[in-house]
């Protein structure tokens, strides 16, 4: 997993957009982004993922594959939707099994985009209330395990004044202010 500041240049969202400025892991810690590198299992057993799930009270999981072939005519609209800046009222936790992509998160208080490149074996947890977006990279494929506390529920709240006032967003800002 590699993190760097997004270059903010126009162009394909799936391009690296690498500014050449790496992000210190302490910055990710400060904004509450957790991450691990856990080798992908060859036998379908994931004791390290199971331990994280127990620790964070995640009871369910599923696997999602995002490809042009799999989504067909919906592919471009889904990719655009994932890339809208938003937050969730729950953590977003993803373990990459195959392929690769990018999670972009907003650094606070600078509001700069930090791009986090994920590939097989990367586990990332985005805290509730953090503004973020997701896109595939130019390989156009990712297979990821999603973990959730109960039933899948990741309602996206696109960034606006109302979302800025959302109690989960406000709690997130209080939490990172302490760090």
**Do residues 143 and 89 lie in contact, with contact meaning Cβ atoms separated by under 8 Å?**
no
Collapse the DSSP code of 113 into the 3-class scheme (helix H, G, I; strand E, B; otherwise coil) and give the result: strand
Structure tokens of 175? 């939490």
**Contacting residues for 39 by C-beta, under 8 A, at least 6 apart:** 121
Distance (Å) of CA 177 to CA 93, 94, 109:
22, 25, 10
Q: Is 132 within any annotated ligand binding site? A: yes
**Do residues 80 and 103 lie in contact, with contact meaning Cβ atoms separated by under 8 Å?**
no
Q: Is 88 within any annotated ligand binding site? A: yes
Q: Could you tell me which of 160, 114, 161 has the C-alpha nearest to residue 133?
A: 114
User: What DSSP string runs through 46-106?
Assistant: -HHHHHHHHHTT--EEEEEEEEHHHHGGGHHHHHHHHTS-EE-SS-EEEEEEEEEEEEEEE
Q: Is 108 within any annotated ligand binding site? A: no
Annotated binding site for Ni(2+): 86, 88, 92, 132
Annotated binding site for Fe(2+): 86, 88, 92, 132
Annotated binding site: 86, 88, 92, 132
């Amino acid at each position: 997993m590699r993190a760097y500041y997004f270059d903010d240049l126009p162009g394909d969202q799936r391009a690296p957009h690498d500014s050449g400025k790496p992000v210190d892991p302490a910055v990710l810690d400060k904004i509450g982004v957790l991450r691990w590198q856990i080798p992908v299992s060859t036998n379908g057993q994931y004791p390290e993922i199971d331990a994280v799930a127990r620790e964070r009270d995640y009871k369910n999981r599923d696997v999602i594959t995002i490809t042009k072939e799999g989504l067909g005519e919906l592919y471009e609209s889904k990719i655009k939707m994932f890339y809208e800046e938003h937050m969730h009222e729950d953590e977003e936790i993803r373990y990459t099994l195959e392929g690769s992509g990018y999670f972009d998160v907003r650094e606070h208080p600078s509001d700069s985009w930090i791009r986090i490149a994920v590939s097989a074996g990367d586990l990332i947890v985005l805290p509730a209330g953090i503004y973020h977006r997701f896109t595939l990279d130019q390989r156009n494929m990712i297979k990821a395990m999603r973990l959730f506390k109960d039933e899948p529920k990741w309602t996206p709240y696109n960034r606006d004044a109302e979302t800025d006032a959302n109690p989960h967003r406000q709690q997130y800002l209080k939490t990172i202010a302490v760090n």
